[in-house]
Structure 1
Amino acid sequence: MAERIERTITSLHHPIVKLVRALDRRKVRRAEGIFVAEGLKVIATGRDRGWVPRFLLMREDADAGDKKRMSAVLIAWAAECGVPCLALAEPAFAKVAARDNPQDLIAVFAQRWKPLPPAAPEEKGVWVVLEEVRDPGNLGTIVRTADAVGAKGVLLVGACCDPYSREAVRATMGSIFNVPLARMEQEAFRAWSAAWPGTVVGAAPAAGEDFRGHYREPVLLIMGGEGPGLSPALAETCTRLVRIPMTGSVDSLNLAIATAVMLYEIRREVLAP
């Protein structure tokens, strides 16, 4: 593998080290249009989905065994694609790796934002609309669930957290490479969704209709942010408002769990054996 590595970086002040550290800030990610993905499984998923990184970083003294062999495979693939592959000495690598459960391989990819689907799409399916989601772990988990049920994409409305943050990307477990992402402001969404030909459904605890039932496709599933839930403005765009019944002492579910419950009900007929 040594011949695949262009050079070893030892300086904590190397431009690559500074850049990757800076990508922990959203404004830098947005300005540069790139993001960090960590770990063999996540990077391999990106490769399998046709994503090619800008560069790869490897811990210089990575452990031997299966992980090192898999790293060698990924580095060989990246090198064949013309991607710079760099080893970092331990102090430098510690500066760019995640603090919790750091991985031996880091890749930096270009972000991909998709245009909105047509307001009257010809194909069936479900799109997930998230309004002002603030927790990156929830957002990443929802992207992963959307991938699991075969959703067409995730649309972020308003001041949502960044799906390309480290926390969100890690929570997707690689689904960041497979689920189209789009974004828009609330008023633009209201105008765009007005022509939607199928069901526009929102989840709200005070709704009278039970969530279990048939949903005419194509479906827009709108989920409000943690805490405030669905705003009145987006609730007005819904053709149906439904609730997930609960007993016991709780009056709400975690956003990622509630979204998963809704998605599996909407897709129940498609996913049935």
Structure 2
Amino acid sequence: MEHITSVHNPRIKAWKKLQRKRERDRSGLFLAEGRHLVEEALKSEVQVKVIIIEESVELPPEWQVSDVEVIEVPEKVLRELAETETPQGMTAVCERPDRHNLLLESGRFLLLDRIQDPGNLGSILRTAEAAGMTGVIFGEGCADPYNGKVVRATQGALFSMHVQQMDLEEAVDLCRENGVPIFGTSLSGSTFTAIAPQDSFALLLGNEGEGVDEALLEKADQNLYIPIYGRSDSLNVGVAAGILIYHLRGD
């Protein structure tokens, strides 16, 4: 097992750069911080390249790490790679899955328009995975799904989700061509309970402040809204996603 003691080590510096989207895009790598996320990554099809573990922490013997490089570091070095105030003893360097072949022919899809808050995005991905969604399409202007805060908010659900960046107008057009019903979210739409559960659908969710772009809403088969019975003027987009996803999928 290699031992790195300095925050100035070239490998530590290279991994720290993965906190930036540009470097994640360039390298195809991302960080999974904390024991739970490392374990979930190991259980998934995501390739774990390196596990960086604090000196005082031991890897669980049941983990399958024979093909993974393990590096031991002091706490100060692990903190250099951490984005949380209290690092949980380990971080993994993972390879971002090459997922660019999502066919919008049949299934249940989320189309995300400029969802910018990493916490919201992580919650949406976690809910989508729990509900068995087929895939999630990210339009231009969304937060990076491999941003550290997003990864943590998904609690590992990201590792088994098919996520793909794509022009949303193109995605909507493909859904229409393939007979997949498209539902937008808009206050000028119909109450969501008026729609029966669907075997296949695409749900458009929009920016926290501006909602879904009007040009996309015009292409939807129907636009839906969730009634507000209190004084709030809107629901958090992550909460709205959960309500609509589970209603539309029915069973």
TM-score of the aligned structures, taking structure 1 as reference length:
0.86
Q: 1:49 aligns with which of 44, 55, 61?
A: 44
Over the matched positions of the two proteins, sequence identity in percent amounts to 28
Q: CA deviation at 1:188?
A: 2.7
Mark the CA change 1:259 to 1:113 in structure 2 (over 3 Å): closer, same or farther: farther
Q: CA deviation at 1:116?
A: 4.3
Aligned 1:52-71 pairs, distance under 5 A? 52-62=47-57, 68=58, 70=60
Q: CA deviation at 1:190?
A: 4.1
Q: CA deviation at 1:17?
A: 1.1
Q: 1:22 aligns with which of 17, 24, 34?
A: 17
| 1:221 and 2:203 are equivalent in the alignment | yes
Mark the CA change 1:186 to 1:127 in structure 2 (over 3 Å): closer, same or farther: closer
Structure 1 residue identity aligned to 2:55:
E
Mark the CA change 1:135 to 1:266 in structure 2 (over 3 Å): closer, same or farther: same
RMSD: 1.6
Gaps of 5+ in 1: 1-5, 63-67
Counterpart residue number, 1:185: 167
Q: Is the 8 A contact 1:128 1:154 kept in 2?
A: yes
Q: 2:6 aligns with which of 8, 11, 21?
A: 11
Structure 2 residue identity aligned to 1:262:
L
Aligned 1:248-263 pairs, distance under 5 A? 248-263=230-245
Q: 2:142 aligns with which of 151, 157, 160?
A: 160
Per-residue CA deviations over 1:29-84 (Å, capped at 9, x if unaligned) read 1111110002222222222223331111001123xxxxx452x443xx22x11x21
Structure 1 residue identity aligned to 2:28:
G
Aligned 1:198-209 pairs, distance under 5 A? 198-207=180-189, 209=190
Gaps of 5+ in 2: none
Partner SS, residue 13 of structure 2: helix
Structure 2 residue identity aligned to 1:138:
N
Structure 1 residue identity aligned to 2:147:
S
Q: Is the 8 A contact 2:46 2:96 kept in 1?
A: no
Q: CA deviation at 1:215?
A: 3.7
In structure 2, how many angstroms separate the alpha carbons of the residues matched to 1:28 and 1:36?
A: 11
Q: Is the 8 A contact 2:45 2:160 kept in 1?
A: no
In structure 2, how many angstroms separate the alpha carbons of the residues matched to 1:46 and 1:186?
A: 29
Runs of 4+ with deviation above 6 angstroms: none
Q: CA deviation at 1:119?
A: 3.8
In structure 2, how many angstroms separate the alpha carbons of the residues matched to 1:256 and 1:54?
A: 31
Counterpart residue number, 2:35: 40
Partner SS, residue 227 of structure 1: coil
Structure 2 residue identity aligned to 1:211:
F
Q: 1:196 aligns with which of 178, 189, 196?
A: 178
Partner SS, residue 223 of structure 2: strand
Counterpart residue number, 1:3: none
Mark the CA change 1:237 to 1:113 in structure 2 (over 3 Å): closer, same or farther: farther
TM-score of the aligned structures, taking structure 2 as reference length:
0.93
In structure 1, how many angstroms separate the alpha carbons of the residues matched to 2:220 and 2:98?
A: 25
Per-residue CA deviations over 1:139-187 (Å, capped at 9, x if unaligned) read 1111100011110011101111100011000000010111100111244
In structure 1, how many angstroms separate the alpha carbons of the residues matched to 2:199 and 2:182?
A: 9
